[in-house]
Chain A
């Protein structure tokens, strides 16, 4: 059975894939369906959902179209989540490979730095970084990656430690390849699968951290973010709780989709590797 078919036979994985597909469709179609500034006033303030069909999810305190904000927020969530996770995975894989392959003092120093990053609560680190450098989409992504690269680094190092004693690595040494070339050309690609298996958890964590940062008002002020929307709605929590609840549901479904699809992919590929 092909991995794709096995993936499609797992109901959880399919549900995750559908959720993700909807999210990506929302993110891509946002500028087409809702052109112009989503933060512009679109109607009367605090319109409840399902009252006016030109504003299906109603409006917020300032009369902004909630549905348009939701679509544009999907773009921010996805962009920051993917960028932060990619950065964390790349940095983690490189640091882990260097530490594991070089061993000795290099390993010791790199791992103590990793320890240090794991000792500081990553959310505090992100908070400090954004408050120092200022908040834009890229900075928020870097701030999140600062706290998440350590997991991939540890996994990559552990993998590299087991790979570096293999015969083909010894062979590469014998033919006089440069150690760095061996590390990144021969060892790293073989150490990648378990690192990549972490990616769904990391993307999900990055999306949640971005939401929390923008909830505290530290997100990119020029972008609509779901966290920002939830914070906006907090001021009218008693009278219009839907303003905070709707973007939160979007957030939950997104993270759930990432988990489910990620778990599905890991499981189908793991079984395949187990069989071969």
Chain B
């Protein structure tokens, strides 16, 4: 337990520096954008030069870049991300409203890809070189080459347009007044296609990693020892080979979280899921840079938290991970 705590503390300190770099870097990048929030506001509402002057002053945009960065950081300490021009609401509220949908999408896609991917990987890796191994290997490589947004469109054509089995988009049936289990079932039905589109590429990745990992472990002496002991093949595969090949997949789980968050931008756009990714696209379209900044920061925090959780899980799963070794 202390081991995990030491690890957690060291990672937390490092994360704060990383987050600071992200804030400053993203702030400066978005500062370079032509036009500011006032321009965006005036485009949508109209107003004269005096109005522009007044708004710039009120929103603190007439101050120097450095002052504004300091103000932003100070506000950030109070968990204040500023005001969204397009939504006329605090950015934090807008993001918190959209975040659950994205999290639901990510968690479901991760569960699908990790569960099915590692299971199929074990199935393929149990008999290296067999027909099913080669078939799954080539199949997963092909799947790995499929862009998620295109897969999403193909799934829509097949399952929503032609077969009419599943809804074409959205997160739930609008204005249906469903509650409790009915509502959960409704959301689950809406999630099938986007989760598949987002998760399949990672399913291929986990399958390939599991298979490759098992191929390495098969050669090790303890597998030979297990065989010599007369253990059943099933037991060797599950308790010895697969178990030892599983650890790298757990690391990948954390590393892939940022990728998946990025992937959900396009998937949410394809399936009109009102999540963080779609919000990012709306922010870009409306040139709402403070909102985009807020989304990027939220994503970064999310990625850091997920990786921390994975690190801690790893420390419990693998007793060799000592608190003494320095992580770079």
Chain A interface residues (CB < 8 Å from chain B) = 12, 107, 111-113, 115-116, 118-125, 127-129, 131-133, 147, 157, 204, 208, 211-212, 215-216, 218, 230, 234, 237-238, 241, 244-245, 248, 251-253, 255-256, 259-260
Known: A116-B22, A121-B262. A256 touches B154 (CB 8 A): no
B258 lies within 8 A of chain A by Cβ? yes
9 smallest beta-carbon distances between A and B, as pairs: A123-B262, A121-B262, A248-B150, A116-B21, A255-B145, A256-B145, A132-B33, A121-B261, A131-B284
Q: Assess A260 versus B265: contact at CB under 8 Å? Given A112-B17, A128-B296, A215-B149.
A: no
Q: Given A116-B21, A121-B303, is A127 in contact with B147 using a C-beta cutoff of 8 Å?
A: no
Q: B30 near A: Cβ within 8 Å?
A: yes
B304: Cβ under 8 A from any A Cβ: yes
Nearest CB in chain B to that of A255: its residue: B145
Closest to A215 in B: B149
5 contacts between A and B (CB under 8 A): A120-B300, A123-B265, A129-B29, A204-B145, A256-B141
Q: A119-B304, A256-B142 are in contact. Are A248 and B259 (CB under 8 A)?
A: no
Contact of A121 with B299 in the complex, beta carbons under 8 Å: yes
Q: Is the interface of B mostly helix, strand, loop or mixed?
A: helix
Asked whether A123 lies within 8 Å of B295 as measured between CB atoms, the reply is no
Q: Which of B150, B263, B281 touches A230 (beta carbons < 8 Å)? A: B150
In the complex, the answer to whether B150 meets A124 with C-beta atoms within 8 Å is: no
Q: B14 to A260, Cβ gap below 8 A? A: no
Contact surface of B with A, Cβ cutoff 8 Å:
14, 17-19, 21-22, 25-26, 29-30, 32-33, 138, 141-142, 144-147, 149-150, 153-154, 156-157, 161, 258-259, 261-263, 265-266, 269, 280-281, 284, 287, 289, 292, 295-296, 299-300, 303-304, 328
Out of B21, B33, B138, name the residue touching A113 (CB < 8 Å).
B21
Cα separation A121 to B307 with both chains bound (whole Å): 13
Would A212 and B161 be within 8 Å (CB), given that A112-B18, A132-B32 are in contact? Answer: no
A126–B43 Cα distance when bound, in Å, is: 25
Q: Which of A122, A215, A237, A255 contacts B262 (CB 8 A)?
A: A122
Query: Which chain B residue lies CB-closest to A125?
Result: B296
Bound-state CA distance A112–B20 (Å) is 10
- From known contacts A111-B328, A112-B14, A128-B292, infer whether A252 and B142 are also in contact, taking CB-CB under 8 Å: yes
Q: Are B299 and A241 in contact (CB under 8 A)?
A: no
The reply to whether B258 and A121 contact each other, CB–CB distance below 8 Å, is yes
Contacts of A12 in B (CB 8 A): 138
For residue A265, give the distance in angstroms from its CB to the closest CB of chain B: 15
Among A113, A115, A124, A212: residue with most chain B CB under 10 A: A124
> Could you say which residues of chain B place their CB within 8 Å of the CB of A234?
153
Q: How far is the CA of A216 from the CA of B154 in the complex (A)?
A: 17
Q: How many angstroms from the CA of A248 to the CA of B150 in the assembled complex?
A: 6
Minimum CB–CB distance from A81 to chain B (whole Å) comes to 13
Is there contact, CB below 8 Å, between B258 and A252?
no
**Inter-chain contacts of A125 with B (CB < 8 A):** 296
The complex places the Cα of A194 from the Cα of B157 at a distance, in Å, of 41
